[in-house]
């Protein structure tokens, strides 16, 4: 059909059928039962609406003008599924019988100068959850190897709980299929709208929602955000984030200061991304500090993106699951470039490996435990579930604690702190930038800046070029040292650096050195050593053969000895870089060589 013909249809057909059009009541969405999440859209197919569309009008367009535009086409605004930022427009049966499609109206309305955007709504589905074996304990909080995994492949929760003094209460909006707010392990952790009088049928706080005590249900447009028909996903998610502590029941969530705002946007198949967008808007408008979403957003549209951006403008963090398709760089990742309050979370297992099902990629910046996670289920029950759906609320809980500990941090600064204080896990470096897996205990440590050099001293050899500033940046200036001979042993070039540690010996979490260096001759070996303030000796951290072209070396210092390298009085760390060429066979002395160091980047957290 040609465009001109289509526009003729759009222009005149609605005028004929518009009079007397009354939309049939919208059928309630079917709710999945039991563990239906294992069966919902396992291929992550993107499904768009055929019976409605989403339109955002410009602020300059009056309400009267907006209604005239809609009525012109015989469409109707679904008030209960709209808000001040967008409207959901419903096609009538007459439109559909006449062969008019939602996509045709999108194309037509997109040309209207009063419209910001018109687009198809996208069906929202949970990230497909694989069936993994269950474990009886919360290894993700404190991994002792109880499930056969690697000890300490966890978020160090018990270590963190001793540091909670002064952490303020924060609110996480769980946007999901509902939360069992009456659960024995969740009731104490529920956010409550103190400005609303329960069950009086009045919008006491004039926020546009009547009797919204615990949150809101945007899927059914009512004040009951509890799960329906056996749905359990949101209840499990909520327990991971904020299950009650020290109440003698069930499990523990991430932080005792975290409260849950219950947002039900998903009511089974037939749920839409616009319902999630409306839930996001409610969350940031009503006091959420963090929003956690464990749903497939690969089909994201402008309406969802702008809702996340509005949350960002309100200084609210948004976390989304990376997805469970074992896929690199899933489409949802593109949103990361368009808003800075967003982070995607991958899933890790009890061996600190990426979970076999988890998506990964260059814009998926952290991982968190997500395989066989024990948490709450409706009806005061408990059980294990797996997925990035579980990893995301775990990371959300950590971010919420960060915001409670450091309330002056912006949303982006809180996410940067989450990343900076995550453990660097070697097995994750190929799939998550920096191999980052969240760590609650580290996150409670004070923010730190870059580690500063204090001094440089040549211990053996002769300095022939460069100074301390030469190795502190990535340009081509470098420190060069001509080696010195030791009779019967070989040639040595040794330089010592003193670093000003941003953390004390009692508070240090990690130390890493990145070194670019080379030798003018083959055969030299480089040793990286650190001064042990307890033993009084120099410990070898790494040894490697030097090349004649700059090679980059990364040295991660063992947690077992970290504290011993920080001087308790001066808070100084001493590191020596040594290049060595040994005496050859039959006692032949090596010739002098040049040791060049282009860059040294220390990171102490």
- Do 229 and 113 share a domain, yes or no? no
- Do 505 and 373 share a domain, yes or no? no
Does residue 339 surpass a pLDDT of 60?
yes
Predicted pLDDT of residue 44: 61
- Do 435 and 478 share a domain, yes or no? no
- Name the token pair of 602: 């220390």
Q: Which of 389, 422, 441, 470 is catalytic?
A: 389
- Do 19 and 85 share a domain, yes or no? yes
Q: How confident is the model at residue 15 (pLDDT cuts 50, 70, 90)?
A: very low
CB of 424 closer than 8 Å to CB of 382: no
Whether 24 maps to a domain, the answer reads yes
Give the model confidence (pLDDT) of 560-596 as tens digits.
788 899 999 998 999 999 999 998 877 788 999 999 9
Q: Which of 132, 176, 177, 598 is catalytic?
A: 176
Give the model confidence (pLDDT) of 249-282 as tens digits.
899 999 899 999 999 999 988 899 999 999 999 9
- Do 21 and 58 share a domain, yes or no? yes
CATH code of the domain covering residue 253 = 3.40.50.200
Predicted pLDDT of residue 112: 93
- Do 408 and 458 share a domain, yes or no? no
Whether 511 maps to a domain, the answer reads yes
Whether 147 maps to a domain, the answer reads no
* Window from 5-19, 135-149, 210-224, 388-402 with minimum mean pLDDT: 5-19
- Do 102 and 194 share a domain, yes or no? no
Instruction: Give the pairing type, strands 436-437 and 452-460.
Output: unpaired
Q: How confident is the model at residue 206 (pLDDT cuts 50, 70, 90)?
A: very high
User: pLDDT exceeding 90 applies to what percent of the chain?
Assistant: 68
- Name the token pair of 490: 């070989």
In the residue annotation, 389 being an active-site residue is answered as: yes
Q: Is the pTM of this model over 0.75?
A: no
Whether 504 maps to a domain, the answer reads yes
CATH code of the domain covering residue 579 = 2.60.120.260
Beta strands in 67-133 (DSSP E): 76-77, 87-90, 115-122, 125-126
Higher pLDDT pick, 558 / 271: 271
Whether 144 maps to a domain, the answer reads no
Q: Of 393, 422, 443, which marks where a domain is finished?
A: 443
Higher pLDDT pick, 552 / 394: 394
Whether 140 maps to a domain, the answer reads no
Predicted pLDDT of residue 25: 23
Cα gap 211→195, rounded to integer Å: 10
Give the model confidence (pLDDT) of 477-529 as tens digits.
889 999 999 988 999 999 999 998 888 888 787 888 889 999 999 999 999 99
Domain range for 54 = 3-30+48-122
- Do 101 and 189 share a domain, yes or no? no
DSSP bridge partners of 437: 367, 423
In the residue annotation, 476 being an active-site residue is answered as: no
Predicted pLDDT of residue 578: 96
In the residue annotation, 233 being an active-site residue is answered as: yes
- Helices 388-405 and 411-420 cross at an angle (nearest 10°) of 110
CATH code of the domain covering residue 112 = 3.30.70.80
- Do 578 and 493 share a domain, yes or no? yes
- Do 382 and 479 share a domain, yes or no? no
**Cα atoms found within 13 Å of the Cα of residue 540, Cβ hemisphere only:** 8
Number of domains in the chain: 3
Q: Of 387, 419, 443, which marks where a domain is finished?
A: 443
- Do 351 and 221 share a domain, yes or no? yes
Q: Of 443, 474, 494, which marks where a domain is finished?
A: 443
- Name the token pair of 306: 């702008």
Whether 127 maps to a domain, the answer reads no
Q: Which of 52, 95, 140, 233 is catalytic?
A: 233
- Do 247 and 318 share a domain, yes or no? yes
């Amino acid at each position: 059909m040609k465009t001109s013909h289509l526009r003729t249809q759009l222009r005149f057909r609605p005028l004929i059928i518009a009079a007397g059009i009354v939309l049939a009541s919208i059928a309630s969405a079917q709710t999945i039962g039991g563990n239906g999440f294992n069966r919902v859209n396992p291929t992550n197919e993107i499904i768009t609406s055929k019976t409605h569309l989403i339109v955002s009008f410009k602020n300059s367009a009056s309400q009267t003008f907006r209604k005239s535009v809609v009525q012109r086409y015989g469409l109707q605004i679904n008030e209960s599924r709209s808000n001040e930022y967008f409207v959901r427009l419903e096609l009538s049966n007459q439109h559909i019988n006449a062969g008019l499609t939602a996509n045709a109206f999108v194309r037509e309305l997109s040309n209207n100068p009063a419209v910001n955007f018109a687009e198809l709504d996208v069906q929202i589905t949970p990230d497909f959850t694989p069936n993994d074996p269950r474990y009886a304990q919360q290894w993700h909080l404190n991994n002792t190897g109880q499930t056969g995994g690697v000890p300490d492949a966890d978020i160090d929760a018990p270590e963190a709980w001793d540091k909670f003094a002064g952490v303020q209460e924060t609110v996480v909006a769980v946007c999901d299929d509902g939360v069992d707010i009456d659960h024995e392990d969740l009731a104490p952790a529920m956010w409550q709208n103190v400005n609303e009088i329960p069950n009086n049928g009045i919008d006491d706080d004039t926020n546009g929602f009547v009797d919204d005590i615990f949150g809101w249900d945007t899927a059914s447009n009512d004040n009951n955000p509890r799960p329906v028909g056996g749905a359990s996903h949101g209840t499990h998610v909520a327990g991971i984030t904020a299950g009650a502590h020290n109440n003698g029941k069930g499990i523990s969530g991430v932080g005792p200061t975290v409260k849950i705002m219950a947002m039900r946007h998903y009511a089974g198949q037939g749920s839409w991304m616009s319902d999630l967008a409306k839930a996001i808007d409610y969350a940031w408008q009503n006091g959420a500090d963090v929003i956690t979403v464990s749903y497939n957003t690969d089909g994201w549209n402008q309406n969802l993106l702008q809702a996340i951006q509005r949350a960002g403008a309100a200084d609210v963090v948004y976390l989304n699951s990376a997805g469970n398709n074992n896929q690199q760089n899933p489409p949802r990742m593109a949103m990361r470039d368009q808003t800075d309050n967003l982070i995607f979370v991958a899933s890790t297992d009890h061996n600190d490996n990426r979970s076999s099902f988890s998506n990964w990629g260059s814009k998926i910046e952290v991982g968190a435990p997500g395989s066989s996670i024990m948490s709450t289920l409706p009806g005061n029950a408990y059980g294990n579930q797996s997925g990035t759906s579980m990893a995301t609320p775990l990371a959300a809980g950590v971010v919420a604690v960060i915001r409670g500990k450091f309330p002056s941090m912006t949303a982006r600064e809180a996410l940067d702190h989450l990343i900076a204080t995550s453990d660097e896990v070697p097995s994750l470096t190929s799939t998550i930038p920096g191999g980052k897996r969240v760590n609650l205990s580290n996150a409670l440590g004070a923010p730190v800046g870059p580690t500063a050099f204090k001094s440089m001293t040549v211990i053996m050899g002769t300095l022939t070029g460069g100074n301390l500033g030469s190795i502190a940046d990535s340009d081509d200036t470098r420190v060069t040292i001509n080696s010195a001979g030791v009779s019967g042993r070989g040639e040595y070039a040794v330089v010592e650096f003193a670093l000003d540690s941003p953390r004390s010996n009692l508070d240090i979490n990690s130390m890493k050195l990145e070194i670019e260096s080379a030798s003018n001759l083959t055969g030299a070996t480089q040793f990286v050593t650190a001064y042990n303030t307890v033993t009084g000796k120099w410990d070898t951290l790494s040894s490697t053969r030097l090349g004649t072209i700059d090679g980059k070396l990364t040295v991660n210092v063992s947690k077992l000895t970290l504290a011993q390298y920080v001087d308790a009085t001066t808070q100084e760390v001493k590191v020596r870089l040594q290049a060595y060429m040994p005496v050859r066979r039959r006692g032949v002395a090596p010739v002098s060589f040049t040791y060049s160091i282009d860059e040294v980047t220390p990171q102490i957290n």
